């Protein structure tokens, strides 16, 4: 996939998302997800992105937060390193980033992602999104990580996330060979289930995926 996607900035769409996953709208306060124009927001690597994950509290409910899009592992060199890891292959995530795969899974909500065709310098943008669904937003599987600056005495945890990819479906292969792991609502619940087995999680990467609609962008 190309390194850009769009997400919602209007309160109505996020309210639909909250209803879908039984989220309290109060947790959206302070996240700055609602734009004045109401237009979808374009995100690039190192942008601040909305992320849904399982909470760390006793009841472990789903929660919304924001993180840098572009993974910075605990052993990484710093936030700028995230530019190189805005997506990772789902086929090897369990071995390359085993800890995050086991305990720090998330989803990144989007309204569409970009894919480009053609030679460098003459690339044609295409907008890709599921053909239908219960919400205008859809879920891209991801993992997240925490990084702390070793040069600070009391560093603030820096949160970042990446999108997992899989081979593209037939109608997208001619544009780009890889695309995000798009999850259905039920698959999201399994992906974020702390008791899910590795076999169940890895099976999501090869399950039938929602039909993707591909349109040439302006």
Total structural domains within the chain: 1
Tell me the pLDDT band of 1, cut-offs 50, 70 and 90: low
H or E, element range at 116: strand 112-117
The set of residues, in sequence order, having a beta carbon less than 8 Å from that of 205 and lying 6+ positions away, is 90, 91, 141, 164, 166, 181
CATH code of residue 46: 3.90.1680.10
In the predicted model, what is the mean pLDDT of residues 95-121? 92
pLDDT of residue 122: 85
| Summary mean pLDDT of the chain | 90
Residue 167 pLDDT: 94
pLDDT at residue 76, rounded to an integer: 87
Q: Are 164 and 75 in contact (CB under 8 A)?
A: no
Q: Residue 184 is part of which domain span? A: 5-216
Give the whole-angstrom CA distance, residue 209 versus residue 63.
25
Q: Say which DSSP state 84 is in.
A: G
Q: Which of 143, 146, 145, 147 is nearest to 163 (CA)?
A: 143
């Amino acid at each position: 996939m190309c390194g850009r996607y769009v997400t919602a900035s209007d309160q109505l769409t996020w309210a639909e998302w909250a209803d879908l996953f039984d989220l309290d709208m109060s947790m959206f306060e302070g996240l700055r997800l609602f734009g004045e124009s109401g237009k979808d927001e374009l995100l690039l690597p190192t942008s601040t992105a909305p992320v849904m994950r399982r909470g760390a509290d006793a009841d472990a409910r789903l929660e919304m937060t924001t993180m840098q899009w572009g993974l910075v592992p605990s052993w990484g060199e710093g936030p700028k390193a995230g530019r190189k890891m805005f997506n990772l292959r789902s086929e090897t995530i369990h071995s390359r980033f085993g800890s995050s795969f086991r305990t720090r899974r998330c989803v990144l909500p989007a309204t569409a992602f970009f894919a480009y065709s053609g030679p460098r310098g003459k690339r044609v943008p295409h907008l890709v999104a599921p053909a239908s669904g219960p919400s205008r937003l859809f879920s891209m599987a991801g993992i997240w990580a925490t990084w702390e600056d070793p040069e600070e005495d009391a560093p603030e945890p820096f949160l970042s996330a990446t999108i997992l990819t899989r081979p593209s479906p037939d109608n997208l292969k001619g544009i780009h060979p890889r695309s995000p792991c798009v999850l259905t609502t039920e698959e999201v619940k399994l992906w974020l289930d702390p008791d899910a087995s590795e076999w169940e999680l890895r099976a999501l990467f090869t399950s039938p995926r929602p039909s993707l609609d591909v349109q040439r962008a302006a």
